[in-house]
Amino acid sequence: KAGVTQTPRYLIKTRGQQVTLSCSPISGHRSVSWYQQTPGQGLQFLFEYFSETQRNKGNFPGRFSGRQFSNSRSEMNVSTLELGDSALYLCASSLSGTALYEQYFGPGTRLTVT
Amino acid sequence: AQSVTQLDSQVPVFEEAPVELRCNYSSSVSVYLFWYVQYPNQGLQLLLKYLSGSTLVKGINGFEAEFNKSQTSFHLRKPSVHISDTAEYFCAVSAPEERDDKIIFGKGTRLHILP
């Protein structure tokens, strides 16, 4: 069974630009969560989508948004990029949206904002 | 709201020695607890989880953790580490009774295995 895939793996953007990251979950998984990982803050929860609906949201500004498609693939968008948005963005998929089901993480997208 | 604190940002330990990575949580309701491992340039992988029942949980790669409700702790242990255990370890908590039951991660502990 293929794992969680994230594209692109690396990305360099300039301040003020916008970026879209993609996550393809494991086949059959309906929940996709997004996290931002930085050395100072660790993993911070961005949002979770389940069956195309945002189910949970972390404490990030509105510049961070996401969506999920009918095939469970998810995208995350960051508009008006800031230097502080440089981070590893991880997505994780699971069968359901509760903690009962193991989350499987992708390798992440490394975003650098210059 | 739940929170989790990993007391050590880095832990050096000699190969074949035992190790304990400490984790404390805070919650007013019952919790699920997790340990994840992140190897260099990879995503996170679940090591073990506590949902209910026996407080001693065994996971993959010889790791185990003990849930201690009175001390609100969930420390991770391994009796003998190997060089391949070099990684970052994350403790995480969720509150299944809460409507907002997202998983909250600690800031991680880097395990350095010394030859």
Give me the pLDDT at residue A96, please. Answer: 79
How does pLDDT run across B57-73, given as a tens digit for each residue? 999 999 999 999 999 99
For residue A70, give how far its alpha carbon lies from the nearest alpha carbon of chain B (Å): 22
Pick from A33, A37, A43 the residue to mutate for testing the B interface (most B CBs within 10 Å): A43
Q: Using CB atoms, pick whichever of A35, A99, A108 lies closest to residue B94.
A: A99
Task: Please choose, from the candidates A66, A37, A29, A32, the residue with its C-alpha nearest in 3D space to the C-alpha of residue A48.
Answer: A32
In terms of Cα–Cα distance, which of B43, B72, B115, B54 is closest to A102? B43
- Taking only the tens place, the pLDDT of each residue in B13-26 is 999 999 999 999 99
Nearest to A76 by CA among A101, A39, A106: A106
Tokens of B7: 């007391």
CA atoms within 13 A of residue A88's CA, in its CB half-sphere: 19
